[in-house]
Amino acid sequence: MNKKDIIYTLLAMIISSSIFFVGYTRAQEPIELYRVYLKGETIGYINNKKLLEEYIDKEQVELKEKYKVDKVYLPNDLDIIKEVTFNKNVSTEKEIYEKIKDKAPFTINGYTITIKGMENVGNQENVGNEENEVEEIPDQIIYVLDKDIFTNSLKNTVLVFISEQDYNNFINKTQPEIKDVGSIIEDIYIKNQITITEGRISTEEKIFTSVDELNKYLLFGTTKEQKKYKVKEGDSISDIAFKNKLSVEEFLIANPDFTSENNLLYEGQLVNLGLINPLFKLVEEDHVVEIQNQKYETKIEYDETMLTGYERVKQNGVNGTVKITKKVQKVNGEIVSAVITKKEVLKASVPKIIVKGSKVLPDVGNVGLWAWPTAKPYCITSPFGWRWGKMHNALDISCSGYGSPIYAANNGTVEVAASKWPNGNYIVINHNNGYYTIYAHLASIKVVAGQTVSMGDVIGTMGHSGYATGTHLHFGIAVGFPDRGGTYYNPMSFY
């Protein structure tokens, strides 16, 4: 090879090497792509994020028809990040769609409503049961397409506990003035904090699209069909409610077609037995003025000159009347607090006085004759019977105020004078005739175990110790020791 050929050969090699390096360098130039992550894992690269969004929206016709929406969006678990990469392996919108359509739910525009949970204290059920605990209600999350669905449903649920006329009068400030007796609503509010946030909702969630369905969920805490009962001959609303662990008020709420426990039923009629479990606490605060009949008290005097078993009426009793003003607080239609702020005696009652022959202080109760356990006037804030699916086996008596006297309902021997959860400070009296009485949530105790008490003796003061939301007396009457096999009876049947 001559010198000229060698030069040409070297030039050819240099040119070839230059072409190789130039080509290699161009092949490694980075480009802008979108990396697609599903639940944190890469599933591919795409050129255009908007084209993928449009493709998903076009393909999800079924979701659009189901929820009656115009647009469907990416899943919440899908992230699309722009990056500069050397990767040339780009997927089509269809390829990415096929990878995610069965693995992650798509989203639609809507509203997330959060109802903040709280402690559920409510009424003092089953006092005496040491296993009674405060229930923690968790946050409730509700999804709707239109926030008007929630606001309309919330109003409908509120009107379950407050009449529409009273509600509208309160909202419009058109409540009639109290001239003699009556009541007005001073405030209505929901105790729970409620937040409404607009955003993308996963179609995997339960999304409420109708007011009626959400009404049911807000009131019963479920969308499941409620238990039904077929009316039998002779049934009454109060009988059906009691046999199925409902109060009459709860029965009427679950069956809005009925307006009173006195409404007639017909054989074969289907009624709802759903146990209401509202997802929020609606507070109603009322100003009430009313006239109460004040039943006369019966007092017993003992004459040691008379033989035991003999008695005479020294003075006949006369009922009185009193006009009271009170503040009443209700939660979801149930009275939880009542306090008398003003009292005017219109006609004083006159006690009935019975003189009995006896030489010693009796410790045996007078069957058929019972003294009222609180000062008068008073309010019954929770009667004996079923409430919220639990048996309230006593009366809750309020209005006489914190520290007011509590009286022994009959002669007897103090069996218990102690403090424990959930009763708080409480007393049990054995009347030595088969009957026992229990007095719970006291502010103070004035007697000791083993002490003999006479009907009308002050044994304690009204309070709210233990598992109680407001000042009141939990008063029960049982045959046999309470909560040790004794059977409770409605105290009102003894008066």
Does the pLDDT value for residue 187 go beyond 60?
Answer: yes
- Please report the sign of the dihedral spanned by the C-alpha atoms of residue 439, residue 406, residue 382, residue 464: negative
Kindly indicate the confidence band of residue 4, based on its pLDDT and cuts at 50, 70 and 90: very low
425 neighbors 332 (Cβ within 8 angstroms): no
Kindly indicate the confidence band of residue 322, based on its pLDDT and cuts at 50, 70 and 90: very high
Structure tokens at 326: 């009170």
Does the pLDDT value for residue 239 go beyond 80?
Answer: yes
Kindly indicate the confidence band of residue 28, based on its pLDDT and cuts at 50, 70 and 90: low
How remote is the C-alpha of 317 from its chain's centroid?
A: 44
Does the pLDDT value for residue 24 go beyond 50?
Answer: no
- pLDDT score recorded for residue 5: 52
Kindly indicate the confidence band of residue 131, based on its pLDDT and cuts at 50, 70 and 90: very low
- pLDDT score recorded for residue 155: 94
Q: pLDDT over 70 for what percent of the chain?
A: 89
Average of per-residue pLDDT values in the chain: 88
User: Can you tell me the mean pLDDT for 89-118?
Assistant: 93
- Alpha carbons within 13 angstroms on the beta-carbon side of residue 12 total 6
Does the pLDDT value for residue 25 go beyond 80?
Answer: no
User: Can you tell me the mean pLDDT for 273-301?
Assistant: 92
Those residues with Cβ within 8 angstroms of residue 473's Cβ, 6 or more apart along the chain or in another chain: 373, 374, 395, 396, 397, 398, 406, 439, 440, 441, 442, 462
pLDDT in tens, 364-393: 878 788 999 999 999 999 999 988 888 899
- pLDDT score recorded for residue 123: 44
pLDDT in tens, 396-433: 999 999 999 999 999 999 999 999 988 999 999 999 99
User: Can you tell me the mean pLDDT for 118-135?
Assistant: 50
Q: Tokens 């997927």 identify what position?
A: 91
CA dist list (Å): 378 to 18, 127, 293, 323, 393: 106, 21, 11, 12, 19
- pLDDT score recorded for residue 47: 93
Give the residue with greater pLDDT, 428 vs 17: 428
User: Can you tell me the mean pLDDT for 88-102?
Assistant: 92
Give CA–CA dist 62/74, Å, rounded: 15
Give the residue with greater pLDDT, 478 vs 6: 478
Q: Which of 7-16, 43-52, 86-95 comes out lowest in average pLDDT?
A: 7-16
- Listed residue (243, 234, 207) closest to 111, CA to CA: 207
Give the residue with greater pLDDT, 261 vs 18: 261
Give the residue with greater pLDDT, 484 vs 481: 481
- Listed residue (233, 284, 282, 242) closest to 261, CA to CA: 242
User: Which domains does the chain carry?
Assistant: 3-104 (no CATH), 227-273 (3.10.350.10)
Other Cβ atoms less than 10 A from the Cβ of 101: the count is 14
DSSP 8-62: HHHHHHHHHHHHHHHHHHHHT--EEEEEEEETTEEEEEES-HHHHHHHHHHH-HH
